[in-house]
Structure 1
Amino acid sequence: MYEPHSSGKFDLRYFFDATYYKAGGPVIVLESGEDDAIDRLPYLQKGIAHQLAEATGGIAVVLEHRYYGTSFPTPDLSTENLRFLTTQQALADTAFFARNVVFEGLEDQDLTAPHTPYIAYGGSYAGAFVAFLRKTYPDTYYGAISSSGVTKAIYDFWEYYEPVREYGPPDCILATQRLTNIVDNILLGKNITKGLVKELKTAFGLQDIQYNDDFANTLSTGIGGWQGRNWDPAVNDPSFSQYCANITANSTLYPTPANLTRTVKQLVAAGGYASQSATLTTQMLNFISYVNITLVQPCIAGGQTTNECYTTHNASFYALDDITQTWRSWPYQYCSQWGFLQTGSDVPKDQLPLISRTITLEYESIICRDAFNITTPSDTAIINAYGGYDISYDRLAFIDGEDDPWRGATPHAPEAKPRTSTTDQPFILIEGAVHHWDENGLFPNETTASLPPAPVAQTQMDEAAFVRAWMAEWNAGKR
Structure 2
Amino acid sequence: MKGPKVLAAALIAVTLDNVQALQRKRDTSRADIQYQAHYFQQKINHFPENKLPYAKDNFTQRYYFDSTYYKPGGPVYLYISGETSATNGLGVILENRYYGASYPFNTSTTDQLAFLTTAQTIADNSYFAQNAVFPGIEGDLTAPGTPWILYGGSLAGAQTAFSIKKYGDVLYGGIAASAPIHVVVGYPEWYNPIQKYAPQECVNRINNIVDKFDALVAKKQTAAIKQFKALFGLEVLTDNRDFASAIADPIGNPGFYLSNTWQELNWNSTYGSRDFFYFCGNVSNIDAPKEISDVDYALSKYTNGEPWVGLGGYADYIKKHTLPLCSSGDYNSHDCWGTQNKSAWADISNTATRSYVYTSCTEQWAFPKGKYNKVPASPDLNVYNSFGDFNFSANRLAFVDGDQDVWNGLCYHSPLAPARRQTSDLHPELFITGSGHHWDSYGILNVDAEPQFIREAHLWEIRTVKQWLQRAILLYSITEYLPEY
TM-score for the superposition, normalised by structure 2: 0.81
Which structure 1 residue ranges, 4+ long, deviate > 3 Å from structure 2?
A: 3-7, 272-275
Residue matched to 2:77: 28
The answer on 1:310 being equivalent to 2:356 is: no
Deviation of 1:223 after TM superposition, in Å, equals: 1.7
Which of 228, 239, 252 in structure 1 is aligned with 2:275? 239
Q: Distance in 2 between matches of 1:202 and 1:68?
A: 38
Specify which of 308, 311, 314 is matched with residue 284 of structure 1: 311
Cα distance in 2 for partners of 1:91, 1:69 equals 17
Aligned residue number for residue 251 of structure 1? 287
Q: How does 1:334-353 map to 2 (within 5 A)?
A: 334-335=360-361
What letter corresponds to residue 142 of structure 2 in structure 1? T
Partner of 2:145: 115
Matched, 1:470 2:472: no
Contact 1:11 1:71 survives alignment (8 Å):
yes
Counterpart residue type for residue 294 of structure 2: T
Cα deviations by residue, 1:321-347 (Å, 9 ceiling, x for unpaired) = 123x442001101126xxxxxxxxxxx
370-379 or 161-170, which deviates more: 370-379
Q: Distance in 2 between matches of 1:116 and 1:273?
A: 72
Partners in 1 of 2:194 and 2:273 — Cα distance? Answer: 15
Kindly indicate whether the alpha-carbon contact (under 8 Å) linking 1:395 and 1:470 is maintained by their aligned counterparts in 2.
yes
Residues 155-202 of structure 1 deviation map (CA, whole Å, 9 limit, x = unaligned): 121111111111222112111211111221122x22x32111111111
Offset at residue 274 of structure 1 (A): 3.8
Deviations 1:182-233 (A, max 9, x none): 221122x22x321111111111110111201111111111222111100001
Partner residue in 2 for 1:174: 204
Displacement of 1:261 = 3.2
Aligned 8 A contact 2:294 2:312 in 1: yes
Q: Secondary structure at the match of 2:60?
A: coil
Alpha-carbon displacement from aligned partner over 1:346-372 (angstroms, at most 9, x marks no partner): xxxxxxxxxxxxxxxxxxxxxx12211
For residue 365 of structure 2, give the secondary structure of its aligned residue in structure 1.
helix
Give the alignment partner of residue 293 of structure 1, picking from 307, 313, 320.
320
* Contact 1:12-1:66 within 8 A present in 2 as well: yes
Which amino acid in the other structure matches residue 68 of structure 1?
Y
Unaligned 5+ segments in structure 1 are: 45-59, 337-367
Q: Distance in 1 between matches of 2:450 and 2:62?
A: 30
What CA deviation, in whole Å up to 9, does each residue of 1:429-461 have, x standing for no partner? 1110000011111244xx7x8x52101100100
Of all paired residues, the percent bearing the same amino acid is 33
Once the two structures are superposed, the pairs formed by residues 363-378 of structure 1 within 5 Å of their partners are 368-373=363-368, 374=375, 376-378=377-379
Q: CA deviation at 1:377?
A: 2.3
State how far apart, in whole Å, the 2-side matches of 1:18 and 1:298 are. Answer: 39
Q: CA deviation at 1:242?
A: 1.0
The correspondence of residues 73-472 of structure 1 with structure 2, limited to 5 A, is 73-106=104-137, 108-187=138-217, 189-190=218-219, 192-224=220-252, 225-253=261-289, 256=291, 261=294, 264-270=296-302, 272=303, 274-275=305-306, 277=307, 280-281=308-309, 283-299=310-326, 302-308=327-333, 309-323=336-350, 325-335=351-361, 368-373=363-368, 374=375, 376-417=377-418, 418-444=420-446, 452-472=450-470
CA 1:297–1:462: 2 relative to 1, 3 Å: closer
Q: How high is the TM-score relative to the length of structure 1?
A: 0.82
Q: Residues of 2 paired with 1:114 and 1:91: CA distance?
A: 16
Q: Secondary structure at 2:77's aligned position in 1?
A: strand
- 2:46 is aligned to 2
Question: Quick one: which amino acid aligns to residue 311 of structure 1?
Answer: G
| 1:298, distance to aligned residue in structure 2 (A) | 4.7
CA distance 1:90–1:297, change in 2 (3 Å): closer
TM-superposed deviation, 1:394: 1.4
Q: Cα–Cα, structure 1 residues 63 and 177, in superposed 2: closer, same or farther, change >3 Å? A: same
Matched residue of 1:151: which SS?
A: coil
Q: When you count helix as a share of all residues, which structure comes out higher? A: 1
Range 244-253 or range 380-389, more displaced: 244-253
Would you say the 8 A contact 1:230–1:437 is kept in 2?
A: yes
Letter in structure 1 aligned against 2:264: G
Equivalent-residue separation in structure 1 for 2:279 and 2:69 (angstroms): 43
Question: Any idea what SS the aligned residue of 2:399 has?
Answer: strand
The DSSP-based 3-state class of the residue aligned with 1:327 is helix
SS at match of 2:356: helix
CA–CA distance in 2 between the matches of 1:464 and 1:252? 48
- For residues 240-299 of structure 1, the C-alpha deviation after alignment (integer angstroms, 9 at most, x for no partner) is 11111110111325x627xx936x5242452x4744x2xx34x10011100001123454
RMSD between aligned residues: 2.0
Once residues 224 and 268 of structure 2 are traced to their aligned partners in structure 1, the CA distance between those partners, rounded to angstroms, is 44
C-alpha distance in structure 2 between counterparts of 1:32 and 1:268, whole Å: 50
The answer for the alignment partner of 2:25 in structure 1 is none
The residue identity in structure 2 corresponding to 1:333 is T
- Indicate conservation of the 8 Å contact 1:396/1:426, yes or no: yes
Aligned residues: 411
